[in-house]
Structure 1
Amino acid sequence: MSVPFPPVEPPPTDWALGHLRPSDDEDLVAAGADLEPGTVLAAYRAGLFPMGLGDHGARPIGWWSPEPRGVLVPADFRERRSLKKARARFEIRVDTAFVDVMRRCADPEREGRWITAEVIAAYTELHRLGWAHSVETWLDDELVGGLYGIAVGGLFAGESMFHSARDASKVALAALVDIVSADGDGRRLIDVQWATEHLGRLGVVEWPRERYLAALGEALQAPQVRFGD
């Protein structure tokens, strides 16, 4: 599938997600609405992202704004020597296997899975419009790792990643950092939603929600991140 650039703006949402205000101690902001492209984009622009509240991500749709927020500033990415060596083992491709990456991230054997068929369909449509992207690691012409997310202005909102070969997801993240930071614009951000110890070793930090929302406003003013040629 050829991914358009610049992305195609979908019809606006009927839902006033930008007016929602999270409480101080809750990550979940609201429930309901839909996964139409205009709704999902409005959510990311307001600092929210969707994740179902039912079993394994089923409806109702929850709209989340974590406190604190996991953030990777591209300039702060920590690429250790072992990761630099690992990069040489893999081929990086962008947007060549978007649906396959999502399906691998949605593997029913994964603990805490939340990516439903409805989510795959929604993000595939955003991919068709040029907003959703995959960064993939390939080994001997086999897809062995990758990540996907939404790019809006200078924000890349990471949704999920997977690997079936050692270091494959970390290499995909390193490639993502290269893409996001290619023009040197210091307003660019990678949102990882919730920080983990593993991500912390790569440079991910936790920001208070208000700091994230302020930085988000700046990131959205940056030129659209470009994936591919």
Structure 2
Amino acid sequence: MDPGPSRLDFTRLRPRPGDDLVAAGGDLRAATLLAAYRAGYFPMGLGRRGRPPLGWWSPDPRGVLVPERVHVSRSLRRALPRFEVRVDTAFDAVVAGCADPARSGAWITRQVAAAYGELHRLGWAHSVETWCEGALVGGLYGVSIGGLFAAESKFHRVTGASKAAVVALARLLLADGTAGRLVDVQWCTDHLATLGVEEVGRAEYRAALGAVLALPAPPAFARRPDGAPRGPGG
């Protein structure tokens, strides 16, 4: 379902070179979030542990994963068979795992969790989960618009579980043979670089975004949790 127009016009923002933080304020309505991702921005609170005020970010350089270039090490390849991969069966639990206050750098507030829960119910936000012996042991969540998957956060309770979720996500984006889809991971870390995440300049990312958004959503993310088709523009 398309939530309609945003109250904020992200196309009018003009990021300054070297500044990852572009603007502050606004809201977490579904329409606002979708407009932000379509323009190359994402939200994160500026206060302690993600509390308000709300910031809108566009990193330069940007961390991206080209699904065709995901790197699976030998040790990870050996670990993958132990995990069962599920999609959208425990979205709220995945967000809760990512928001665990015991984690270093936790930034997901109750307001953020609620906002992405609403996006999930509308069919735009999705979880890729790793299970082991019937227990949720890791996963990631993010927003799927066209050929873009904007990954927000991931977590693990078993070694390799979050990496397995990233590999599973790449495979889901490639499942129907459509080329050109992209995973936005915001910032590239040493951990993500081992999976094939690369850095691109902000201008390059934003220039590629239009073509990526015009691609069809992968089959795994093309329907709402209730099984109904997603609205237009996705």
TM-score category of the 2 structures, normalised to the smaller one: over 0.9
> Are residue 154 (structure 1) and residue 137 (structure 2) matched?
no
Q: Which residue of 2 aligns with 1:121?
A: 114
Q: Note the residue ranges of structure 2 that are not aligned, 5 or more in a row.
A: 224-234
Q: Which residue of 2 aligns with 1:135?
A: 128
Query: Is contact 1:152–1:225 with CA below 8 Å preserved after alignment?
Result: no
Deviations 1:92-117 (A, max 9, x none): 11100000000110001111111000
CA distance in 2, matches of 1:24, 1:168: 36
Deviations 1:163-199 (A, max 9, x none): 0001000111110001112223222000000001111
Deviations 1:136-157 (A, max 9, x none): 0001110000000000000000
Q: Which residue of 1 aligns with 2:31?
A: 38
Query: Is contact 1:72–1:204 with CA below 8 Å preserved after alignment?
Result: yes
Which portions of structure 1, spanning 4 or more consecutive aligned residues, are displaced by more than 6 angstroms? none
Amino acid at match of 1:66: P
Q: Note the residue ranges of structure 1 that are not aligned, 5 or more in a row.
A: 1-7
Q: Which residue of 2 aligns with 1:145?
A: 138
Amino acid at match of 2:170: V
SS of the residue corresponding to residue 192 of structure 2 reads: helix
Of 183-192 and 36-45, deviating more is 183-192
SS of the residue corresponding to residue 88 of structure 1 reads: helix
Query: Is contact 2:83–2:130 with CA below 8 Å preserved after alignment?
Result: yes
Over the matched positions of the two proteins, sequence identity in percent amounts to 58
> Are residue 80 (structure 1) and residue 73 (structure 2) matched?
yes
Deviations 1:73-106 (A, max 9, x none): 0111111222222110011111000000001100
CA distance in 2, matches of 1:144, 1:110: 15
Amino acid at match of 2:52: R
Query: Is contact 2:63–2:199 with CA below 8 Å preserved after alignment?
Result: yes
Amino acid at match of 1:201: T
CA distance in 2, matches of 1:95, 1:86: 22
Amino acid at match of 2:134: D
TM-score normalized by the length of structure 2: 0.93
SS of the residue corresponding to residue 82 of structure 2 reads: coil
Query: Is contact 1:187–1:215 with CA below 8 Å preserved after alignment?
Result: no
Query: Is contact 1:133–1:227 with CA below 8 Å preserved after alignment?
Result: no
> Are residue 48 (structure 1) and residue 41 (structure 2) matched?
yes
CA distance in 2, matches of 1:97, 1:203: 26
Amino acid at match of 2:19: E
Amino acid at match of 1:20: L
Aligned length: 222
SS of the residue corresponding to residue 86 of structure 2 reads: strand
> Are residue 189 (structure 1) and residue 182 (structure 2) matched?
yes
CA distance in 2, matches of 1:165, 1:151: 26
- The 5-angstrom pairing of residues 206-221 of structure 1 reads 206-221=199-214
Which of the numbers 203, 214, 217 marks the counterpart of 2:196? 203
Amino acid at match of 2:129: E
SS of the residue corresponding to residue 44 of structure 2 reads: strand
Q: Which residue of 2 aligns with 1:14?
A: 7
SS of the residue corresponding to residue 101 of structure 2 reads: coil
CA distance in 1, matches of 2:53, 2:11: 19
TM-score normalized by the length of structure 1: 0.95
SS of the residue corresponding to residue 118 of structure 1 reads: helix
